[in-house]
Amino acid sequence: MSKKTDLDVAGRKLTVSNLDKVLYPEAGFTKANVIDYYIRIAPVLLPHLKNRPITLKRYPEGVDGFFFYEKQCPSHRPRWVKTAKVPSRRNEGHIDYCVINELPALVWTANLADLELHTFLHKAPVISRPTALAFDLDPGAPADIVQCCQVGLWLKAVFDELKLESFAKTSGSKGLQVFVPLNTAVTYDRAKEFAHTLAEAIARQHAKLVVSRMQKSLRKGKVLIDWSQNDDHKTTVCVYSLRAKARPTVSTPVTWDEVQSALRKKDATRLQFESAAVLRRVEKRGDLFEPVLSLKQRLPAVSALRE
């Protein structure tokens, strides 16, 4: 029988269960620890979740057990959990995604053992307009995040030339992700074409280390620049989200100086952060990823890359 506890979260009554259940066995990290992390990180996390449809990735038996994705917001959700309609690609109709705009909704998802938060690049109701350009740098063994740092810096150099600011975060798993804030009028078609063209160009220039095609057979010892995330039906792990790894690692914003340092010292551990370390970083540095929400930049034409 599940043990239930009633919480008052920002004035809303919420029943949570099995708080002592261990979800990360190697770390002894319980559901109570997961909920506590999300409550404490909420001041910087919630702005990145606001109005973004979200896919839940639930691990009811912990990271070593089965998991499932949940796009349709559960029918048993509290009435105050908001949803956003997104057209379904596989069949006619739509999917009502959860929208996590307030702390009680975040705690509710954590109680469902939704360890990972996967968001779209757009906000409701304007679901045809991405607010950023995103590149997921995914290393094929034996490559790791150190090689991703080099590829990330090559991307940054292009954006610097184009007078665009870019920001990096760890995936919380193996790789690095690079975001370019837009927050201006742009379509997914334009964003995807730009991202694809740039990924192909870097793959041509640095063929020994970089690929832009998805086939796993091409990726051994190389870094895939996954440009395909720039799509209205794809989600990317949200900044500050936990990851379902052996230990409670987090998708963490990092400075370009930290990226450069990890590359120079060839030390992947410099870019590995667990929940407690992330809370300390935020307390000391604030939200390094905040400009992704607020900075307005216009996406150049694809021809600018050829020039």
Chain centre to alpha carbon of residue 150:
20
Q: Is the peptide bond before 25 cis (omega within 30 degrees of 0)?
A: no
What is the per-residue pLDDT across 16-48, written as a single tens digit (0 to 9) for each?
999 999 999 999 999 999 999 999 999 999 999
Residue 288 pLDDT: 98
What is the per-residue pLDDT across 259-301, written as a single tens digit (0 to 9) for each?
999 999 999 999 999 999 999 999 999 999 999 999 999 999 9
Q: Is the peptide bond before 125 cis (omega within 30 degrees of 0)?
A: yes
Residue 89 pLDDT: 77
Could you list the beta-strand ranges (E) of 121-249: 132-139, 167-170, 176-181, 210-211, 223-226, 236-237
What is the per-residue pLDDT across 205-251, written as a single tens digit (0 to 9) for each?
999 999 998 777 788 999 999 999 999 999 999 999 999 999 999 99
Mean pLDDT confidence for 181-186: 97
Chain centre to alpha carbon of residue 222:
22
Distance, in Å, from the CA atom of 148 to the CA atom of 136, rounded to the nearest integer, reads 9
Could you list the beta-strand ranges (E) of 31-129: 53-58, 68-70, 82-87, 94-99, 114-119
pLDDT over 70 percentage in the chain:
98
Could you list the beta-strand ranges (E) of 242-301: 253-254
The structure tokens listed for 264 are: 């120079």
Query: In the predicted model, is pLDDT for residue 166 greater than 60?
Result: yes
**Which pTM value belongs to this model?**
0.96
Mean pLDDT confidence for 125-147: 96
Query: In the predicted model, is pLDDT for residue 125 greater than 80?
Result: yes
The amino acid occupying position 160 is D
Could you list the beta-strand ranges (E) of the chain: 4-9, 12-17, 22-24, 29-30, 53-58, 68-70, 82-87, 94-99, 114-119, 132-139, 167-170, 176-181, 210-211, 223-226, 236-237, 253-254
**Who has greater pLDDT, 134 or 218?**
134
Residue 183 pLDDT: 98
Provide the 8-state DSSP code for 74: P
Contact indicator for 141, 246 with CB cutoff of 8 Å: no
Cβ neighbours, 10 Å, residue 158 = 15
Q: Where does the pLDDT of residue 93 fall: very low under 50, low under 70, confident under 90, or very high at 90 and above?
A: confident
Residue 1 pLDDT: 53
Query: In the predicted model, is pLDDT for residue 190 greater than 80?
Result: yes
Mean pLDDT confidence for 111-137: 96
Residue 290 pLDDT: 98
End-to-end CA distance of the chain, in Å?
65
Residue 62 pLDDT: 98
Residue 218 pLDDT: 80
Contact indicator for 271, 170 with CB cutoff of 8 Å: yes
Query: In the predicted model, is pLDDT for residue 170 greater than 90?
Result: yes
